[in-house]
Amino acid sequence: MAAKPDATMSGVDTLKLAVSGTILAASVLAFYVFADLALLYRVLTIVAAVVVAAGISLTTERGRSFAGFMQDARTEVRKMVWPTRIETLQTTLVVLVVVIILALFLWLVDRGLSSLIQLVIR
């Protein structure tokens, strides 16, 4: 992806982002103002507002740039080689064994220092 200079936003893009932010703020305000309504309806209102605000934001230049970036990221994730189930299990077991060994070591060090301090105190 080629880096391009950060251009100033157009007035329309600024307006779209302002409307998007206003929609989000209004949905949060409505969540608290209408506290007597069921929680489900209030949460659905916020979810709908987020979807609408995201849709409006994606129509701006920065939004289109972000959508392109997300598409490129998705393509790169598909290129990755993921570990097999057996490799994942083996790695998990190694981590578990190392954690147990370190826990025992730290317990022994703590026990030794505690005994040493008890000898010094007496």
Q: Do 96 and 53 sit in the same domain of this protein?
A: no
pLDDT at 53 over 60: yes
Q: Do 49 and 17 sit in the same domain of this protein?
A: yes
Q: Is residue 46 part of a domain?
A: yes
What is the mean pLDDT of the segment spanning 87-93? 98
**pTM of the entire structure?**
0.60
User: What pLDDT score does 1 carry?
Assistant: 52
- How many residues can be counted in the chain? 122
User: What pLDDT score does 5 carry?
Assistant: 53
| Structural domain harbouring 87 | 82-122
Span 3-42, pLDDT tens digits: 565 567 789 999 999 999 999 999 999 999 999 999 999 9
Neighbouring residues of 107: CB distance < 8 A, sequence distance ≥ 6: none
Q: Do 97 and 67 sit in the same domain of this protein?
A: no
